[in-house]
Amino acid sequence: MLSNKGGFSFINRIEEIEENIRSERWQSALALSLTLPDICGALSHPEIVKKYKNGKIIKDKSGKKVRDIGKQYVMWFDTYASKFFHNNKNDEEPYMDGEKCWQLRCEYLHQNKGFNNEDIDYGEILFHLGLNCGKSICVFNNISKDDGIWLDIKSLCERLCKAARNYYDYYENKEEFDVFNTPVIDWVEYNNDDKKTVKTKILIAGIEEETAMAIRIILEDISDIEIASDIKEAKRIISKEKINGIISDYKYINSNWIRVILEDNKIAVFVLSEDKIENKSCTCIGFEDGYLNPEKFREIIYTRI
């Protein structure tokens, strides 16, 4: 799921969470969902940075102010996401706030504490994750508030996505989200683009003008084409310019100028022939019912230069 900029965008992240929910890949959905306030918090509260005890701002090696990620996370959640976390419409307070979500994020993504773990620190929330609760909080008659908070993963992820998408939709300068894109290179596409942008140069010589012009049309988007009016001109062009390939008629295969090129082995030689003739020193391209097959012709040239 790549964006048109060649990477994973903020919206791609939300869409992947939604796809994970539909596919019931709960761990992936939860992990990605808990990162959404990280990105949003950086944009909504850039002024929140880390400070030393004396109040001086902490800077990294490059001189940039160091984000206080936790406080940004909590502030964004309480300001923009909490309204999506009311279990019932009449609830005055959301069942999840920024502090709780930040704790869950750190425990799930890093420490994996807080899940029925005896080592939980005093004052922290004990989280229980559930599925198919039918609501945001899994409620059981025999469980007290001291037992922590029981969360439905599906509902938690959906609500975080709604909050993040709502924030994105109303954010004025959406280009600022691009800073948090994950660059991804499609190597197949990259290699193909690389071949297309660095065009090869092909010389057409010793071929009838009509056929030469047809070849130019077939190849012009993948190669720069030179057409020599005769063999003398072809020799002149080769001596002055860097040529990657030559297309000529098979009748010239034994001519001196072609033999010199074949011996040099730096220029690919293609010869047109009415018949399919095997020749180890060059690539023979045969006509089909008196015509060149454009797609096959392009493929042969493209792959052998």
> Are residues 207 and 91 located together in one domain of the fold?
no
In the three-class reduction of DSSP (H, G, I as helix; E, B as strand; rest coil), residue 205 is classed as strand
Q: What's the rounded Cα separation, in Å, for the pair 192 and 273?
A: 29
**CATH number, domain with residue 232:** 3.40.50.2300
Cα angle, residue 195 at apex, residues 260 and 247 outer, rounded to 5°: 30
The whole-number pLDDT of residue 169 equals: 92
Question: pTM of the entire structure?
Answer: 0.58
Q: What's the rounded Cα separation, in Å, for the pair 262 and 281?
A: 7
Residue 1 covered by a domain: no
> Are residues 33 and 152 located together in one domain of the fold?
yes
- pLDDT above 70 covers what percent of the chain? 78
pLDDT at 177 over 70: yes
Residue 297 covered by a domain: yes
> Are residues 167 and 208 located together in one domain of the fold?
no
Residue ending a domain, among 159, 184, 209, is: 184
Q: What's the rounded Cα separation, in Å, for the pair 57 and 41?
A: 19
What does each C-alpha distance from 156 to 35, 137, 181 come to in angstroms? 13, 9, 23
> Are residues 175 and 204 located together in one domain of the fold?
no
Owning domain of residue 253? 189-304
Residue 2 covered by a domain: no
> Are residues 44 and 136 located together in one domain of the fold?
yes
The whole-number pLDDT of residue 61 equals: 77
Residue ending a domain, among 184, 210, 237, is: 184
Pairing of strands 7-8, 182-183: antiparallel
The whole-number pLDDT of residue 140 equals: 44
Q: Which helix (H) or strand (E) is 271 found in, with range?
A: strand 268-273
